[in-house]
Amino acid sequence: MEYKILDIQIAERIATVVINRPKALNALNTETMNELHHFFITALPTNDAIQGVIITGAGEKAFIAGADITEFSDLKDDEGMLLSKKGHDIFDAIEQSKKVVIAAVNGFSLGGGNELAMACHIRIASDNARFGQPEANLGLVPGYGGTQRLVQLIGKGRALELMLTTNMIGAEEAQRLGLVSKVTTPEELMAACKKMMNKILSKGPIAIAETIRLVNAFFDKNLNGFEEEYRSFGTLMNTDDVKEGSQAFVEKRPANFTGK
């Protein structure tokens, strides 16, 4: 697929994905969602050259300022449900990805944009970032998983407050609440994301993928996360990575993981 909105650069096992609609504050229109769907659901899982993804927005004003509201006015109920379901499919794929996805939040992270950021495994923000779920201003609810993931990340009371008042919060408050892991200057944002990603990619790739799966299992009502954990722990004992990691620890050297 030829991407017209997403600017994707791959270097040293990391794909940097830039949503490039700065004049629209990188709002998620149909074309953008189609490209995100293809990248995260079709392309990423089968591309062995990519082991981690950093996603951000073009320009200095916005990560993603929400969905493109201009596309909403003529939607009927069934069309609205299909639109929401498509967003869920994309963001679920991000959340469940075996490859680490970090959101580099630069500027406004609102509505669908904040929902995309919350689907990522880790969020790092510049100090000018602003977060919010303003859907109630439109007479709507968050449609891409926001009512669920915001509660998971910051708790029911604060999540309800933000969604019901539609208030925005700054980067420092977002970090205090647990919505973001780290706050940097805008100039240092991408470097901080790459530094964290490189540290993660130095670990055992099977272990990283399983850790993501097990953490997600906590929120899956069909799974017992504790059972999933001890089974995974036992299964990983048979991998070459565990043998290499243990030997490297004994020999006091960096491990050379192969993902086997």
- Which are the catalytic amino acids? 115, 135
Q: What are phi and psi of 127, to 5 degrees?
A: -70, -5
Integer Cα distance of 37 and 249 in angstroms: 40
- Look at the block and give the residue holding tokens 């609102």: 110
Among residues 66, 56, 17, 24, which one has the least CA distance to residue 38?
17
Q: How far is the CA of 259 from the CAs of 132, 195, 199, 241, in angstroms? A: 38, 21, 16, 6
Among residues 166, 84, 72, which one has the least CA distance to residue 92?
84
In this structure, are residues 18 and 6 in contact, taking their beta carbons and an 8 Å threshold?
A: yes
Dihedral over Cα of 148, 150, 154, 159: its sign: negative
Would you say how long the chain is, in residues?
A: 260
- CA 67 to chain CA centroid, Å, is 16
